[in-house]
């Protein structure tokens, strides 16, 4: 009986002591959480670049300031918000994709890696906001 109680108490401590990796994205006061779902058909010419590793596709019609989708190796993809996570949305907070980097045109020159979302240059405490991405056959679906 004591053994079950100890295991139960340990389990409660373990479960309440852990935080989700997503907390740093959810608790970012600069970016709101939007609900959206987009589907890209890789057979269409518009999304052809996503068929090759190292390429990305950017859309400004979803997300806060846009979304970038990056092909890591044809089985792994990333999708991130293009609003700099270390600025409230403004005229200069929409990042521009250059190769494997997203760059903020604001004065601080924040830059982020499109594979990890981590900051590679600049100032701030938040990484890029990730979105859920799934590939099913020739379709890629991105949503929040």
- For residue 53, the model assigns a pLDDT of 97
Q: Are 126 and 118 in contact (CB under 8 A)?
A: no
- For residue 15, the model assigns a pLDDT of 40
Q: Are 26 and 130 in contact (CB under 8 A)?
A: no
Nearest CA to 68 out of 97, 30, 28 is that of 97
User: In what helix (H) or strand (E) does residue 41 lie, and over which residues does it extend?
Assistant: strand 37-41
- For residue 25, the model assigns a pLDDT of 53
Full set of structural domains in the chain with CATH: 2-143 (2.102.10.10)
Q: What is the mean pLDDT of each run of 10 residues along the chain (144 residues)?
A: 46 42 68 95 95 96 96 96 96 95 95 98 96 96 96
Phi, psi of 49 (to 5 degrees): -60, -25
- For residue 17, the model assigns a pLDDT of 43
């Amino acid at each position: 009986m004591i053994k079950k109680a100890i295991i139960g108490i340990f389990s409660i401590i373990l479960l309440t002591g852990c935080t989700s990796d997503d907390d740093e994205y959810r608790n970012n006061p600069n970016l709101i959480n939007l609900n959206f779902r987009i589907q890209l058909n890789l057979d269409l010419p518009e999304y052809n670049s996503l068929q090759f590793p190292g390429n990305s596709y950017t859309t400004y019609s979803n997300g806060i300031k846009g979304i970038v989708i990056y092909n890591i190796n044809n089985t792994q993809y990333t999708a991130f918000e293009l609003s700099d996570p270390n600025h409230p949305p403004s005229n200069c907070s929409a990042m521009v994709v250059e190769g494997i980097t997203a760059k903020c045109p604001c004065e601080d020159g924040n830059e982020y890696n499109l594979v990890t979302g981590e900051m590679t240059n600049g100032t701030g405490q938040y990484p890029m906001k990730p979105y859920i991405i799934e590939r099913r056959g020739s379709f890629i679906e991105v949503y929040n």
